[in-house]
Amino acid sequence: MTKEKRDWCKRHGICTRCGKNKARKCKTTCWACAEKKNKREAEDRQWFVEHHICIQCRKNPVAPNRVRCDDCLEKASEYKQLHKPDNNKVRETAKNLRENYLYDKMCSKCGEKQTYGGTKYCIECLLKSRKSSKEYKRERQIVNNGCFWCGAERYGNKKYCLNCYKKIIKQLNDIRPMANKDKLEKSINSAYKLREVKKNGLEIN
């Protein structure tokens, strides 16, 4: 692809590799071309690892129990000292990546499959998330014998700690008057309806 063609694709949001598909948000390639590139790079990396050649310079033999040579390891160490990661920048990058996935209606977690329904995840990541949440709660409740809500020590033979138990009791006390009021109104309405039935000789509906 010529430089003029690539510039035209960039301006019109078209993939600069295949020149056909829609490019990803804030990117110059489509998902299909990006996946092909990632797959090819993974295969190349695996080949260098199996042949004990540095995956960075792809020339020198690797250091013991490493995948890079001594020179590349030293350069990487110096680079880390000079360029310490900015947590705010890392979070911003992750946020942009998730927005990029959602823009193309891809799962914001794995970025590989279409979102399910109105959620931000694909069906597999959604089920994994729900399963892990249930397993975590069950682990706190059974294995660690902790509060079902916060994981703290349980209160007596209850499933909750003292603080969470008090919160639950307070919520129940706030709900009960409303429930009793609705029950009383239903009883009054039923009694009134029964009286009207008996008085007028009507059939009960």
Helix residue ranges per DSSP H, the chain: 3-11, 31-50, 70-82, 87-103, 123-138, 162-200
If one compares 26 and 6, the residue with the highest pLDDT of the two is 6
> Which pLDDT score, from 0 to 100, does residue 203 have?
44
Q: Is residue 190 pLDDT above 60, yes or no?
A: no
Q: Is residue 102 pLDDT above 80, yes or no?
A: no
What average pLDDT score do residues 99-119 get? 78
> Which residues, listed in sequence order, are joined to residue 106 by a DSSP beta bridge?
114
CA distances to 139, 140, 195 from 150, in Å: 12, 8, 52
Please provide the average confidence, as pLDDT, over all residues in the chain.
Answer: 76
- Per-residue pLDDT reduced to its tens digit, 67-93: 999 999 998 888 887 777 667 777 887
Q: Could you tell me the pLDDT band of residue 53, with boundaries at 50, 70 and 90?
A: very high
> Which pLDDT score, from 0 to 100, does residue 197 have?
47
Q: Please report the sign of the dihedral spanned by the C-alpha atoms of residue 179, residue 184, residue 187, residue 189.
A: negative
CA distances to 168, 183, 187 from 196, in Å: 42, 20, 14
If one compares 182 and 119, the residue with the highest pLDDT of the two is 119
Ranges of each domain in the chain:
1-51
What average pLDDT score do residues 154-163 get? 81
Q: Could you tell me the pLDDT band of residue 13, with boundaries at 50, 70 and 90?
A: confident
The token pair that represents 123 in the structure block? 């069906």
Range with top average pLDDT, 45-54, 84-93, 99-108: 45-54
What average pLDDT score do residues 10-22 get? 87
